[in-house]
A and B are shown apart, each in its own frame.
Chain A
Amino acid sequence: MKLYSFISVSQQQKMKKVWLGKTLTDGLLFKVVIYLLLISFSYIYLYPLLFMLINSLKSVDDLINPGVQWIPTVLMWENYERAFQVLSLPNSLIDSTVYVLKVSVSATLSSALIGYGFARFNFPFKRLFFAIMLATFILPQQVTMVANMLIFRELEIISTEWAMLLPAMTGQGINAAIYILIFYTFYRTIPGILIESAEVDGAGQLRIFRTIILPLAIPSFVIVFLFSFVWYWNESFITGLYVGDKVTLPLWLQAFRASYETIFPPGTPGAELNEAILLSGNMLTILPLLLLYFFGQKLFTQSIDKTGITGE
C-alpha cells in the first residue's frame, strides 16, 4: 500500500471501483480476463483455418524451412492458380451449385409441407409419426446405405441426381428431421384465430397454406434453405456413393491428387504437387460457403433459438 501513498484514499477507491467494479463482474479486470479467454479459445478454434490460409500461400522453400511459420517470405499466388485449374473452376462450382440448389430447394419445400401437417392438424397416430420423424435424426442414410444402394438400383436411379433428390423431396434427406422441426416450431407460433377466421370465410386448407402461412413463414424458409444448402454441400460420402464422383466441389477436392497428375504430369520441371497447392485447393473449396456465411451469419447463428430443439 506504500506504493499508492501519493494517491489519496478517494482516488484509491475510485481505481478499485474501475478495476474490480461493484460486484466483480462489472469491473475492467473481469472484462479483460473474459476477452483474453475468448481470444485464446478462438485462436485454438480457428487454428486449422489460419494454418490453411497461411500455408496455402507459402512457397516450397517456406514449407520446408522451420523458421517460417506464420509469415511467408513470398506470397505464392501461383498455388491458387494451379488449384483453380485442377478443380476446373468455375465450371465445377456452377455445376455443384446447381445440383445443391435443386436438392436443398426440394428439401425445404417438402419439409415446409410436412411441418405444417404436423403442426396444424390433429389426426390419428400423429404422436407416433412425430416420434418416428424425430427418431430418423439418429437413423441417417449412412447407416442404411447398404440397403439403400440396392433399392436405388432396383429403382434405376443409382448414379443419378434422383438418388439424392427423391429422399429430399419426401422429407428423408440429410438432417431432414431438423428442417421439419424448424417449420413445426414456427407454425405453432402462428395464432390459430388467424387460420380459423380464414376457414370461416370459406378458404380451403390449401388456400390458407398458400396465402396466409407461406408469406409468414419466409424467415423459416430462408433459414432451412441455408442450412440444407450448407449440409448438402458438405455431405461428400453419401453424395459420392449415390450420385457420382465429381458432383460437388468437395468431391472434386477428393480427387485432387489424381486430377493434378493428369493436368501437370509428373516429371515436368516445377510441377510437383506440394502441400501448399493442396491447401489452396481446400481454401478454394470452402470459399463459397465462407462468403455465404459472412453475408448471412445472423441467419445462421440466431436460428438455433428458433428450431425448438432447445425447448420442450
Chain B
Amino acid sequence: MKRKRTSFFKQFLTRLLNLIQSISQFYQAKIQPPLDRFFYRLKHNFIYREIGNTVKIFSLITIRITRKRRHAFYGYLFILIWLIGIAIFTLYPLGYSFYLSFHEAYYNLQEGVITTFIGFTNYVNIFRSQTLVPAYSNYLGRMVVAVPIIIVFSIIIAVLVNMPIKTKSLWRTVFFLPVIISTGPVINELNAQSAITLPNLQASGIYSYIVNNLPSFLADPLTTVINSMLLILWYAGIPILIYLAGLQKIDPSLYEAASMDGASPWMRFWKITLPSLMPFTGISIVYVVVSMSLFVEPGGVLDLTRTHMLVGAPDSAFWFGYGYAAAMAWVYFICMVLLILVFTSLTREKRGKVK
C-alpha cells in the first residue's frame, strides 16, 4: 500500500516536471522569438531608432543619449504613475472643486453635472448660514486650544520616556497605541458614552469656573477641549515619536559640558533640550493639525459637507448641492492652512541678526 502511494507521488511529480519542461520548451521555441523581434522593432522603427548611442525620431531629430538624459528618462519612467495620479486625482479635482465652488451644481442622471455660474454666492451663503458659522468657529477654537496642549504634552512624554529608565520600549508602545486603534466609529461611540475625558476633570472646579466666569466665545472652546481631553491627547502619538527621534540626536557632550558648568537638570532642560527640540515642532504641528482636521466628527464641517453634497441641507433655506459643498470644503481647507501657518510661524526660531 505504502509503496503504491510513493509511486503515485513520484508519477505525479514527474508528470508535473514534464509539464513545466514542455511549457518552457514551448515558450522558448514559439513565444520568445516573436517577443524578441517585437522589442527589436520597438527600438528600430521609422518613428524611434537607436543607432549606437544616438536616437533618431522620424529620421529627422537626432538625440544623443547621454548619461544625464538617460537618467532623466528613467526618473520620469519611475514617477510616471505618480504624474498621472496627481493630474487625475489631485490637481484636477482641486481645480474642479474650485470651479464648482463658484457655480450652482447638481448631478443629473441623464446629463451629468449641470452648472450655472453664480459668482461668490456660495461663499456668501456660508457666512450667512446658521449652522455653518458655529461649526467653523468651533473647529478653529478647538484647534487653537488643542494644538498647544498636544505639543506640550508630547514634549513632556518624550522627555520622560527618554530618561535613563529600563522600560523604554514599553512606554513607546503604550503612547503609540492610539494611532493604531483610533478609527472614526470607535471614537464616536466613546464620545457618545463620554469616555473620552476623565470624570474627575469634568467634576473639578476648573470646569465650572470656566463655564461661570468666562464669556462664551472663550469658554466654549475650553469646555469642548476639556470634554474631549483624552481624545485630544491621543493625537500626540506620532509627535511623541518625532520628539523622541529628536532627543536621540542631541549630543550628550552638551549635557556633560553644561553640568560641568554647574547647570541643574532643570536648567539643562530649558537651555539645551527645549531649544534643540524646536526644529521638530514645525513638522509635529503640521501632522497634528492635518490629522485633527481630517477626523470627521458627526456635525463637524466635513460631515455637513457630505450631507450638503448628497442629500441637501438640513436648513434648506440656503443653497446646497455640489457647488455649495465645494465652497465649504475650500473654506475648511483655507482655515486648515491658516492654522498651520500661524502655529509654525509662532514656533519658528527667530534667527539672531548678525551685527
Instruction: Tell me the A residues contacting B by CB distance below 8 Å.
Output: 23-26, 31, 34-35, 37-38, 41-42, 44-49, 51-52, 55, 110, 113-114, 116-118, 120-124, 126, 129, 132-133, 136-151, 153-154, 166-167, 169-172, 180, 205, 209, 230, 233-237, 241, 250-251, 253-254, 256, 275, 278-279, 282, 285-286, 289-290, 292-293, 297-298, 300-301, 304-305, 309-310
Contacts and interface: CB of A to CB of B under 8 A. Distances in A.
B119 to A, nearest CB: 18
Given A117-B78, A147-B97, A310-B283, A38 B305 contact: no
Nearest to B266: A24
B186 A301 contact: no
A117 B180 contact: no
Contacts of A235: 183
18 contacts: A34-B163, A44-B198, A45-B174, A47-B195, A48-B196, A110-B81, A117-B79, A137-B290, A139-B333, A144-B94, A144-B329, A146-B329, A147-B92, A148-B93, A150-B100, A150-B107, A169-B81, A285-B185
The 3 closest A-B pairs by CB, nearest first: A170-B85, A117-B78, A121-B75
Interface string B86-97: 101110111011
A253 B233 CA distance: 24
Interface string B174-214: 11111111111110111001011010000000000000000
Contacts of A34: 160, 163, 165
Contacts of A292: 180
Contacts of B287: 309
B107 A153 contact: yes
Given A114-B79, A143-B329, A301-B169, A250 B186 contact: yes
B306 A241 contact: yes
A275 to B, nearest CB: 6
B240 to A, nearest CB: 9
B253 interface: no
A288 to B, nearest CB: 10
A123 B72 contact: yes
**Range, interface on chain B:** 35 or more
Contact of A301 (B88, B100, B173, B326): B173
Contacts of A120: 75, 78
A180 to B, nearest CB: 8
Given A140-B290, A301-B169, A44 B183 contact: no
B176 A300 contact: yes
A48 B178 CA distance: 10
Contact of B245 (A25, A132, A305): A305
Nearest to A169: B81
Nearest to B105: A150
Contact of B86 (A42, A132, A241, A251): A132
A144 B290 contact: no
A279 B112 CA distance: 43
A25 B268 CA distance: 12
Nearest to B296: A237
A114 B84 CA distance: 12
B82 interface: yes
Given A117-B77, A138-B336, A38 B160 contact: yes
B340 interface: yes
Contacts of B92: 147, 151
Nearest to A149: B309
B16 to A, nearest CB: 27
A45 B78 contact: no
B86 A172 contact: yes
A126 B72 CA distance: 10
Contacts of B56: none
Nearest to B242: A310
Contacts of A117: 74-79, 82
A47 B194 CA distance: 12
Interface string B290-331: 100010100000100110010000000000001001100110
Contact of B171 (A42, A140, A298, A310): A42
Contacts of B238: 304
B337 interface: yes
B286 interface: yes
